[in-house]
Structure 1
């Protein structure tokens, strides 16, 4: 049966329900969001004479919940206009509407009786064959569907989204006892391709996979922390990005999510698990029990493991809970020799190995927690999953880990680690020994370009399903597909006549090595290939130009060097635009400054939906000079339509640069003009490089023709220069901008106006490139610009001087 999801009904508008509704709206689906009736009008409604018969009152709870979600930061929705795709209502008046919806998702409170009561009402209106799923985080499917019709049960399963649904990639699919296998196949595919999720098939066991393992990891760490006497800030320092986990680490994450959520899952697991040898690890540590008793549940109650104190003078002071005294104390700035020693190890795999094996308190903590988790995961197969890769996928996608437990075990070396685990009293499951005895020394390997996992029943390696459709750089590396490289970039053969350029500098900044890589890749592609993809799998696409190099040259007044560097960068960006073969850029997360300029010059952009793109050079005292200012002026010229007020259209582009406007999604990047209609958006990050490659082939097959540089860019000269000057002066007199802000803005206005031409004139791209380079160069000679760059480089925060 072919299914199409055009309309989704979501029953329950709480934090999860409203956010799930927003994510379906993100992908263009029409959403019906329903919730219960309020018991009576509130005080404000009563004053207006409204009663429970009025629609505004009847839909108050659902409307307030959705409004709160739409205002929340970070945003649950790609573009606020997408909220128009959501219609609200209540169970009493609007439940009958679900007969016209393709998928019904229940997201009400985690109580079996309430869910079952709602299902009885759903059965009165639901059209046979309609998908019906529950977002439960732990109630067994077999209990939820008891007493329901055969059609209901065959089309019912669990679809457990992780919070927040827009940002956390995990979607657990949990079949019920009578779920039609075709339903599971459909949801696995739909979640992957259309919702951008890592869809993981789970068994109907307590807490499924991700929470079972993730909460165990947290609870195990908490008990280790108690034994070792570590503090809140110490642990968060050890358990964040330094080991490839979420920036919010352990305790900050619990404060954000809500301590009650973790407590409920842990308590439920402690009760439900009868045959788990480590069930005692789910008992609450003393400090967690104390915070729970005090209702200090984190951000939702104003305090938890951390407490932001707001003093009468307006100042703020962050404090952390002391595990011994159970009182708040000033936040510590912990130091560990292991972390100091790992600062220059940028390769995460090498850093993890270094940290776990380091002989200090940090290394002791890592060994205790890693080894215990490895043991626990090995013994959960086949209880919660038959294949080990499912555990890694679920934990990484649900908790934001870079590597899962078995991947980390591989990094440390399976055989050596097993010996150390035995010595620490953490003996793993017997199948691990059988694997080693059979001569297999890793859980994963790459064979003929495919990533494989160790299959326990067959005692052999099998391809991870679905990987053949993806392009993974780790797999290309292991498959000997590298054809060129330097310290900052690598070129791979992606197959089918397409090559890919990856850069891997710190923050993927664009220095000399990356520029060399780009030019080399374009030359190679023009000679022997169909085209080029520029993309990477780093945390961010690129944070922009190498500021440290500019700061050094500017401080030494080596302006000729800066001029040459900017000219080379501009020339490289123009090669991206005017190469003889299609170049597709695949930005994700942060694509700032030069990373944005590279995208602006691509033949096509294959952007990830989570895209924070902008020309942010103003914040460090300069203007975009890698073609960014030129390109935004060019786009203004190309997009002028009859009847447009030209000054207003140019001002939009000017303000985006002058305010360092950064998009909060790829959709907003289109609205800001950084992306164009011809550019595409990928919802699932894992598919981005494959889709970028497909775009290259599409452009090539359509008969790609090398474009010619434009010489007909309309600039407005003195007309726009005077207009911008009036605005800048007004902002300056009103103390909205500093004198240095005004100076930068005037340089930007000069370039975007084409100088002080006496009348609107058509100019060439090179004309504008020369203007932006001259403006950039002059600003690097300003003391206040150097102060701004220094603040970013050495303090990590912008300076407005």
Structure 2
């Protein structure tokens, strides 16, 4: 069985997971099934049998006994999942790992499965009826878990056998399961502790999740805190007269949250989902703030109108077209309930933080704002801080679990207690008191005892304040993580764009911290300096960072654009040459260099990972050579390397031009992988690359690979002189294909010019027949082609468009 894991077995002590059955193929069930397929597990996905034929089935004269009818619900759900964007599978090939069926014909098959996950509709009676049927076929000892978002475990487990109850608990995934990292584990009253331990470890190691142990309380942790924050934000916005667009701007990336903000997020999730959770939580008898779950007026009116968001075509926003066919985004006016063209948002407080890259440093400025934005932040954060303090020990005994759940479940960069630390605990208390409220008593007790932060770092280890112990404890499960932010005392060297850390065991880590981690002079210096230091005093180097946006979005185009406008071609030539030499330095150093890409690894970020000795990639790595989008070709060794990798794939009798054409088309169309697995299929990642599902483990895994390479007797490689290129034959084929695309008006004249130069380089130039060449020969061709394209007016227009608006120009 093919595995995408860095450790390709899915076994923890005394239990192995080879086969998983998912009951219920709705949005969550089908996507949970897909994610298990991603990690190499065989999956059985089941749903109910239809009670009546549809029109298409009647036309085909099918009956309720026809297999196509009996599996219609599960088949339709699975096809909808396959077509949905973003994709739930790392590769479409992995769909083969999922078998579809129905409860009536196939539920008996769960007897051979290791784990049964129930994901049917959120109704206690329906879930209980499913469990009753499951008990007829489930073998003793099999895990049985529910994906409920709020129904208590003790109610679900009522009436079940002892063995069922012992192996039953909640495993609450967040949608979409592939992308959101939270997995809440909720024990029932009789759940065996070994089952909980297994699931906590399995979710972390194999599913790539942050597993958070929750108590069996309403909404568990993430929904309890997250929905409260969302409802209160809407209520405060109404009270302050803020617009939908203003709130989404204030609650987006500026505070380290998704760009969807508050209202757009509600539209995406579906207002009915939020309302259902809120209506359940407002009934809680023991929550001092349960009234905060009462629906604000705008939400009630949207529900009455059935304007639920994307699923109904309108909610807080509505997408429409003008008379020219151009798409318009309209925003709801919360006072008149009319839709109006979405407006740009400006606040003085936001303007004052534009130059502050550090999120931690941004919060004190935001909360001190003198305008409406500042008031909004003071009211919402004060309420969020206060509410979180009272949830301990109700939903969790430890404050770090609350932060872990809210960050990984809702995509926040910092949790509530982490944010509170950023402004200072005492200032946070003053903020709450200024709103006429008070936090829970334990916060005052903590401050009185001389503890003035919820978290602290000691010897590179992050610790949290433990309330019963009245002191700090290490966050369990993080001992094996390497978190660069915690290694401020281990800095070996740094400049304005990069920092070199000592990870221990003779291994260094180079971290970029330019905007989007782009490659400029400081980063190039950092790579060369790091390799030199490692060669002298260490035994290996990892290149990785903890950015949430990008491993690296490629070259810093601003400097290139300036030189090109001034026609400083000698400077451009020198810049390209230095970049190529740096990539080759990463390839041909005397110590192993390991890349640890994640999220965006584009252009130069991709090229660096093409040249290192080994890659340890996060499963969500979006890799590609995208230079064509700005009118250029890859010239940091990217074109050379893809020619070399194609050459390495050639076998006697192979259609070599077909193999090379795949590489050519990936570059010519600026294709970016949608996962690390797809990057492997595109040959950007070699078979030797490891794919890690848990982002928190990425640098630690990369360090281990560097250690292993060093201890296994790493030998400095020699530059290649055996790259087979196709010469004129390949150029002619590729040019013909490009000409056909131009005739079909798929590409512009300038695209043709770029593609022709790419064909010339990747085929090794104007050679009369296929032959072998050196790496340096191809690098020189790259540099010449790149240099000539920087003199093209249309290339400069593309670069300028990207620098000014962030959108590619197809001129």
TM norm structure 2: 0.98
Q: Structure 2: give runs of 5+ residues left out of the alignment.
A: 1-12
| Residue 345, structure 1, aligned to residue 340, structure 2 | no
Task: Name the structure 1 match of 2:7.
Answer: none
Task: Return the match for 2:306 from 295, 315, 328.
Answer: 295
For residues 575-604 of structure 1, the C-alpha deviation after alignment (integer angstroms, 9 at most, x for no partner) is 111110100000001100000000000101
Equivalences, count: 798
Instruction: Give, in whole Å, the separation in 1 of the partners of 2:32 and 2:305.
Output: 31
Instruction: Give, in whole Å, the separation in 2 of the partners of 1:596 and 1:392.
Output: 33
| Residue 505, structure 1, aligned to residue 514, structure 2 | yes
Task: Name the structure 1 match of 2:394.
Answer: 383
| Residue 80, structure 1, aligned to residue 92, structure 2 | yes
Query: How much does 1:313 deviate?
Result: 4.5
Matches within 5 A, 1:278-317: 278-311=289-322, 313-317=324-328
Task: Return the match for 2:686 from 648, 655, 676.
Answer: 676
Instruction: Give, in whole Å, the separation in 1 of the partners of 2:566 and 2:351.
Output: 30
Task: Name the structure 2 match of 1:761.
Answer: 771
Query: How much does 1:469 deviate?
Result: 0.3
Instruction: Give, in whole Å, the separation in 1 of the partners of 2:257 and 2:225.
Output: 14
Task: Name the structure 2 match of 1:437.
Answer: 448
Instruction: Give, in whole Å, the separation in 2 of the partners of 1:208 and 1:290.
Output: 28
Task: Name the structure 1 match of 2:258.
Answer: 246
Task: Name the structure 2 match of 1:648.
Answer: 658
Instruction: Give, in whole Å, the separation in 1 of the partners of 2:195 and 2:406.
Output: 24
Instruction: Give, in whole Å, the separation in 2 of the partners of 1:326 and 1:555.
Output: 50
Q: Secondary structure of 1:174's match?
A: strand
Structure 1 window deviating more from structure 2 (394-403 vs 417-426): it is 417-426
Query: How much does 1:426 deviate?
Result: 2.7
Task: Name the structure 2 match of 1:71.
Answer: 83
Query: How much does 1:312 deviate?
Result: 5.9
Task: Name the structure 1 match of 2:6.
Answer: none
Instruction: Give, in whole Å, the separation in 2 of the partners of 1:646 and 1:117.
Output: 58
| Residue 411, structure 1, aligned to residue 422, structure 2 | yes
Instruction: Give, in whole Å, the separation in 2 of the partners of 1:402 and 1:728.
Output: 44
Task: Return the match for 1:230 from 242, 263, 269.
Answer: 242
Instruction: Give, in whole Å, the separation in 1 of the partners of 2:802 and 2:335.
Output: 38
Task: Return the match for 1:778 from 771, 783, 788.
Answer: 788
Instruction: Give, in whole Å, the separation in 2 of the partners of 1:795 and 1:398.
Output: 31
Task: Name the structure 1 match of 2:135.
Answer: 123
TM norm structure 1: 0.99
Matches within 5 A, 1:256-655: 256-271=268-283, 273-311=284-322, 313-477=324-488, 480-539=489-548, 540-655=550-665
Task: Name the structure 1 match of 2:180.
Answer: 168
Query: How much does 1:724 deviate?
Result: 1.8
Structure 1 window deviating more from structure 2 (732-741 vs 62-71): it is 732-741
For residues 261-302 of structure 1, the C-alpha deviation after alignment (integer angstroms, 9 at most, x for no partner) is 10000111001x112111111000010011111111111111
Q: Secondary structure of 1:396's match?
A: helix
Matches within 5 A, 1:709-720: 709-720=719-730
Q: Secondary structure of 1:307's match?
A: strand
Query: How much does 1:311 deviate?
Result: 4.4
Query: How much does 1:319 deviate?
Result: 0.5
Query: How much does 1:315 deviate?
Result: 2.5
Cα RMSD (Å)? 0.9
| Residue 707, structure 1, aligned to residue 717, structure 2 | yes
Query: How much does 1:353 deviate?
Result: 2.1
Instruction: Give, in whole Å, the separation in 1 of the partners of 2:310 and 2:382.
Output: 32
Instruction: Give, in whole Å, the separation in 2 of the partners of 1:420 and 1:76.
Output: 42
Query: How much does 1:734 deviate?
Result: 2.7
Matches within 5 A, 1:79-228: 79-228=91-240
For residues 741-768 of structure 1, the C-alpha deviation after alignment (integer angstroms, 9 at most, x for no partner) is 1111111111112111112221110111
For residues 420-459 of structure 1, the C-alpha deviation after alignment (integer angstroms, 9 at most, x for no partner) is 3212213111111111111111000011221100000010
Instruction: Give, in whole Å, the separation in 2 of the partners of 1:734 and 1:125.
Output: 58
Query: How much does 1:329 deviate?
Result: 1.2
For residues 17-69 of structure 1, the C-alpha deviation after alignment (integer angstroms, 9 at most, x for no partner) is 00000000000010000011101111111111100011100000000001101
